[in-house]
Structure 1
Amino acid sequence: MTGWRVLLTRPADESALLAETLDEAGVFSSSLPLLEIAALPFGDAQRALLRDLPLYRAVIVVSKPAARMAVHLLEQFWPRPPEQRWFSVGAATAQILAEHRLEVFCPEQGDDSEALLELPQLREAIAPSAARVLIIRGEGGRELLAERLRGQGASVDYLELYRRDLPHYADGALVQRIRAERLNGLVVSSGQGFEHLRQLAGEAWPEVAQLPLFVPSPRVAEMARAAGAEKVVDCRGASAAALLTALREQPVPVL
């Protein structure tokens, strides 16, 4: 796989870890973070949700940043967390929670809300009438998970802890990086990451859209194709293993 030269766009710390794994597999990578995590103000409404934590039959954490912030808050509010089931969309998020001695479940296949909704443990948790569910996430985001849970009779609350900003870059920074380092692939980890990629590309998007784009899910793949990306590869997961598998299966483009 030494022919691949890919651009990583995750937050800086996550890109660094991913770059190490790719390097071990012989894949060159360059990091241009397109998501910057900024904590939201923490006020009375958020404190009330945390005080009511034992009332929730299930707590769902949708990202690694949300998991890290949630663990930090638990240390302050619940040094001994209530006995309840926690859920995550991906395995990496689950690991952060499990290290805090929480009982956590996540899908074995797929890193998205659709896979999570199929978990038997989640269905069991929300089976009682009007079961309460807390979703811990960043500002905004998909509503599918809450909509489906409410459709099954659950009551859903959000605890939003951060927002995802696009870091400031000079005009043309994306295309300059691609050309200077002869990159032949792009990697995004979320729908918002893709939107930031397109935003940063600006008028050069038609050129950027010609490169193979590796995405974590069918939803993001659909977004990218609708925006004009010419070769979209659905990795069926956001993990390093999923990306490496996709890279192995795809021919290296001749640029």
Structure 2
Amino acid sequence: MPDSVLGEVVITRPLAQAEGLARRVTALGRKATVFPLLDILPLADQASLQQALRDLSGYALIAFVSPNAIDAALAARADWPRDIPMAVVGEGSRLALARHGLTAENSTIISPTDLDRTDSETLLAELDLPALRNKQILIVRGETGRPLLSEALRAAGAQVTLLAAYRRVAPVFDATRRRELKRLLHGQNDWIVTSSEALRFLMQMVAQLDEAEGVAKMQQQRIIVSHIRIGETAQLLGFSNITVTRSGDDGLLAALQSRT
């Protein structure tokens, strides 16, 4: 099917994480449009993050909730200890660790083995919870985040410390982005969305446009999401054409190829 019929592939990840996927989409013969729905910003006080990471020797496990958490933490402390096991949720986080030189060859990395669903629930299934009882665990995340992992670990008797390493905010919705969003609404595009929070920001942006039936036009777009939870959010927001893929870029690309 020609690109003009398929429309564009709108990648809504934060800019730094969107570019690699955009190159792979282009290699498939599709037009990739990067339209970030989240900005990842450093903490206002980097000194407190660096202080918290200075001595990690008391932790039995360090869990990172996202690639952003990994990048922020390892930017704050470059000499990351390789003798402390790390837990991550998905393929993107494993790749982020690898960019910093941390791999299965030189570190203990725990992650879900079911690649069709990678989240806190499936990560918990891989952890030896009885062995973590009374142990110190550090969870590195954004300023806000889903509490399921920390609550489950505490329920298992672990002593959990939450460490904010970055901020997630909605991008500035300026005149340039307004024009771009209006243009995209007038096509039938494939939107790659990897965050429920980002999807809610998108609908808030659409509602601010002086666009006749803008919300209805957005709800008719095809949404490709990387987790069933995001798909449920899309349903609640009125989307009807939702494709849920396995975790990671390969799953997202496979969903695109099913249209070509």
TM tier relative to shorter chain: 0.7 to 0.9
Check the 8 A contact 1:71/1:100 in 2, yes or no.
no
2:251 counterpart of 1:242: yes
- Correspondence 1:1-255 to 2 at 5 A: 2=3, 3=6, 5-42=8-45, 46-47=49-50, 49-75=52-78, 79=79, 81=81, 83-98=83-98, 99-101=100-102, 102-108=107-113, 109=115, 110-119=117-126, 122-123=127-128, 127-170=131-174, 172-173=178-179, 175-179=181-185, 182-202=187-207, 204-237=214-247, 239-249=248-258, 251=259
TM-score, normalization by structure 1: 0.85
Structure 1 position 65, deviation (Å): 1.6
- Distance in 2, matches of 1:48 and 1:63, equals 21
- Distance in 2, matches of 1:212 and 1:149, equals 37
Specify the SS of the correspondent of 1:123: coil
Specify the SS of the correspondent of 2:167: strand
RMSD between superposed Cα atoms in Å: 2.3
Check the 8 A contact 1:40/1:162 in 2, yes or no.
yes
The structure-2 alpha-carbon separation of the partners of 1:170 and 1:183, relative to structure 1 and needing over 3 Å to count, comes to farther
Deviations 1:200-236 (A, max 9, x none): 1116222201111111111111111011111221113
AA in 2 matched with 1:129: R
Q: Percent identity?
A: 30
Check the 8 A contact 2:231/2:244 in 1, yes or no.
yes
- What corresponds to 2:211 in structure 1? none
The structure-2 alpha-carbon separation of the partners of 1:65 and 1:84, relative to structure 1 and needing over 3 Å to count, comes to same
- Distance in 1, matches of 2:223 and 2:174, equals 22
AA in 2 matched with 1:68: D
Q: Which moved more, 1:96-105 or 1:184-193?
A: 96-105
Structure 1 position 44, deviation (Å): 6.8
Runs of 4+ in 1 over 4 A off after TM superposition: none
Deviations 1:40-73 (A, max 9, x none): 1336754553244111111111111211111122
Structure 1 position 170, deviation (Å): 3.4
Check the 8 A contact 1:218/1:236 in 2, yes or no.
no
Check the 8 A contact 1:175/1:208 in 2, yes or no.
no
Specify the SS of the correspondent of 1:53: coil
AA in 1 matched with 2:112: P
Specify the SS of the correspondent of 1:213: strand
- Distance in 2, matches of 1:4 and 1:111, equals 29
- Distance in 2, matches of 1:53 and 1:22, equals 39
AA in 2 matched with 1:164: R
Specify the SS of the correspondent of 2:246: coil
Check the 8 A contact 2:222/2:243 in 1, yes or no.
yes
TM-score, normalization by structure 2: 0.84
The structure-2 alpha-carbon separation of the partners of 1:177 and 1:117, relative to structure 1 and needing over 3 Å to count, comes to farther
Specify the SS of the correspondent of 2:57: helix
The structure-2 alpha-carbon separation of the partners of 1:43 and 1:18, relative to structure 1 and needing over 3 Å to count, comes to closer
Unaligned segments of structure 2, at least 5 residues: 209-213
- Distance in 2, matches of 1:30 and 1:183, equals 13
- Distance in 2, matches of 1:82 and 1:184, equals 43
